[in-house]
A and B are shown apart, each in its own frame.
Chain A
Amino acid sequence: MIKDAFDLKFILDNLPKIIGALPVTISITLISLFFGWMLGLIFAFGKVSGPRWLREVLKLLTDILRGIPTVVLLYVVYFGLPQIVGSLTGASLDGWSKQTFVVIALALELGISSSEMFRSAYNSIRKEQIEAAWALGYTKIQRFLKVIVPQGLFVILPNLSSAVLSIIQATALVYTLGIYDILGKARQIDTNEAHVKTFEMYLAAALIYWALAGVVTVIFSQLEKRFGRGRKVVAA
């Protein structure tokens, strides 16, 4: 079939269909972020105050996972986890959705990469700030919630923002498992048109990813303003 000229109308006509897949991309992103950062906090805690053997294990895990491309990790989890669980416990993971495996892979990767970020944020908090809270009678949990989290959050916000963006991008890999996220949907439409609209559909997908990234950036710049209080001299 002969390729037609650039077809703007086709993009506009199909954009709603692709946007229809937005919830898939967003839900995978949010769930992966949630579990990834939880895992990251736990790993960071282990790295800061765990026993020596735990710190060694986490360090090794960090080195291994950092070297593996996301797509490879995704397939290792997708194909490997059922086998491992099966041979260890005899349980079957057949009932698990593809999304579950995607979330596990992405959360694992994010957990490892964010643990380093959380650790260095913790180290960046000046000792005196924590000592002031100690002397005032804050409990350990109060020191964590009232001093370490708000002050550390400001330090890591730029990293959090780029983590969100890279998770969104990583979700585009799920089409390879046959999940209809934004990219999966765009490719499906293109396939239905016998691949004459490939450029249009990828462009449409790009537009949506770009808009999504824009929203994330705006949200984080608001958060930075909120948590950056007192950092800069605010006009009196």
Chain B
Amino acid sequence: MIKVEGLSKSFNDNKVLENVDLTIENGEIVSIIGPSGTGKTTLLRCINYLERPDKGKVTIDDLTVDADNPSKKDIHGLCLRSGMVFQSYNLFHNKTVLENVMEAQVIVKKRSRKEARERALEELKKVGMLDWKDHYPSQLSGGQQQRVAIARAISMDPSILLLDEPTSALDPELTKEVQQTIRNIAKDGMTMLIVTHEIEFARELCNRIVFMDEGHIVEQGTPKEIFSNPKEERTKKFIQFLFPQDYQIYI
């Protein structure tokens, strides 16, 4: 379970997140949607303290970290309990695919090299990248890199996987293959929080949609509730913006 309570974050005078509350149960797949610059990425980055929140608590499973006085160990604990998939993949460019998936298992999880290798091969197989294990990231397409990045994150057994627009840097063909990978992981019961602009994908994959605007969670509900029957005015506007014609026909 993951819980965000009263989370606030400003960059200088720019209030990016204000008092955000969000709870995700185990096994849930939640998508955050919303206009550009509303703090979706920042919210994700506050969960593993890549961005340090000004105020608020983050809980993952048994660990609660308060932004008022977080210890290094607590912050590290959040990283151990979460995995992150970045928009720009962020594979280690000086390591092969296999090494990318193995290294953190060995040095962070303290698994033996043999164990880490077996697990890495298993995850690479799942994302369909086994044949590429000895290649370097620069030899792969963006979609392939992202699938490796997903394998890398999953191999650490996170309680929750945070994905920030995992397909936004990809063309439609590659987007499909990465989305298929995410679907497969969803079938394995992984808890996920996904920021995405791929509305169709979010609608079909997620249990819940969270609509954010200007640093607030405006509304959340099932895909049906949010897309077919939004309550808030701002949500309606955004949905209409996404589906300029009669948006109902898309649902």
Contact = CB atoms under 8 A, between A and B. Distances in A.
B177 to A, nearest CB: 20
Kindly name the residue among B88, B91, B92, B103 whose own CB sees the greatest number of chain A CB atoms within 10 A: B92
Interface in B160-192: none
Say whether chain A's binding surface is mostly helix, strand, loop, or mixed: helix
A236 interface: yes
Interface in B101-156: 103-104, 107-108, 135-139, 152-153, 156
User: For chain B, which range describes its interface: under 10, 10 to 19, 20 to 34, or 35 or more residues?
Assistant: 20 to 34
B94 A150 contact: yes
Across the A-B interface, the 5 shortest Cβ-Cβ residue pairs: A230-B136, A132-B90, A135-B84, A136-B104, A137-B79
Contacts of B139: 233-234, 236
A129 B93 CA distance: 8
Nearest to B84: A135
Interface of B: 48, 50, 76, 79-80, 82-84, 86, 88, 90-96, 103-104, 107-108, 135-139, 152-153, 156
Nearest to A140: B72
B50 A134 contact: yes
Given A131-B86, A230-B95, A136 B50 contact: no
A142 interface: yes
A85 to B, nearest CB: 41
Given A135-B48, A137-B76, A137-B156, A129 B83 contact: no
A12 to B, nearest CB: 47
A236 B136 CA distance: 10
B80 A231 contact: no
A231 B138 contact: yes
B86 A128 contact: yes
Given A146-B103, A146-B107, A236-B139, A135 B82 contact: yes
Given A135-B84, A137-B80, A151 B135 contact: no
A138 interface: yes
B81 to A, nearest CB: 9
A236 B88 contact: no
A142 B104 CA distance: 10
Interface in A128-182: 128-129, 131-139, 142, 146-147, 150-151, 154
Contacts of A134: 48, 50, 79
A152 to B, nearest CB: 11
A131 B50 contact: yes
Contacts of A136: 79, 83, 104, 108, 152-153, 156
